[in-house]
Amino acid sequence: MTSPSTTSAGAASAGATSASTQTAAARWPAGSRTASVRATTRKFATGVTVLTCSRDEGTHGVTVSTLTLASMKPPMVSVALRRDSQGLAALLAAGTFAVNVLGSQQDPLARHFARSDRGEGLTRPGRGVWAGHTADGVPLIGGAVGWLQCRVTRTVPAGDHELVLGLVTDARLGTAEVPLLNFAGALHRLPAPSAPASGALAPSTPAAAPPDDTTRS
């Protein structure tokens, strides 16, 4: 038989759980789920990359902040691109691409390759931007933190995006040591590694904000 004291404690516990659930529900952000998801994910700090593909005058580049290491054995990366974007069409047509991990001083390039009217070819944004090619002939952006040479292996539908999986066939580090970051809809420059340590990162110097969704182009 259950004792009165046990029943009372159980009721109190259930009441506390119910109150906790109601409190949690009351704290859920107001507005649409889409707006809440966008506001929350904008608080993720991510690196900024430019994917380049093709070669010569047909060179195409697109700024993305959705690149993720998907596997180490074999080494693979994934990136989400809008299904109707120029970038996705160019990557799939080329079959191979390069990941240019931008350095902290390369925010102008991030903004350039995020523009829908950026055009194609090595003269955009200028021949001085490029520094060699991958073994597959894909142009690389100079002054980057590093580069990955990739081959498209498959795509996976993901809502209004396509998740592109790429096998990494080569990789090397660049001359820049500090990456460019995307946080809360703006580009940020981290302090140099030689900056005096104070137990925490120094405040970033924000650059002009890129488009909200750098995967749309």
Question: What pLDDT score does 183 carry?
Answer: 81
- Mean residue pLDDT of the chain comes to 78
Whether residue 146 is predicted with pLDDT greater than 90 in this model: the reply is yes
Point out the least confidently predicted range of 79-88, 119-128, 185-194.
119-128
Report whether 49 contacts 182 (CB < 8 A).
no
What is this structure's pTM? 0.73
In eight-state DSSP terms, residue 103 is B
Counting beta carbons within 10 angstroms of the beta carbon of residue 68, is it exposed (0 to 12), middle (13 to 18) or buried (19 or more)? exposed
Q: What is the pLDDT of residues 55-98, one digit of tens each?
A: 656 889 999 998 999 999 999 999 999 999 988 999 999 999 99
Written as six digits, the tokens of 8 are: 């009372």
Written as six digits, the tokens of 10 are: 């159980």
Q: What is the pLDDT of residues 15-45, one digit of tens each?
A: 554 444 444 444 555 556 777 787 787 777 8
Point out the least confidently predicted range of 26-35, 52-61, 122-131, 135-144.
26-35
Confidence of residue 191 (pLDDT cuts 50, 70, 90): confident
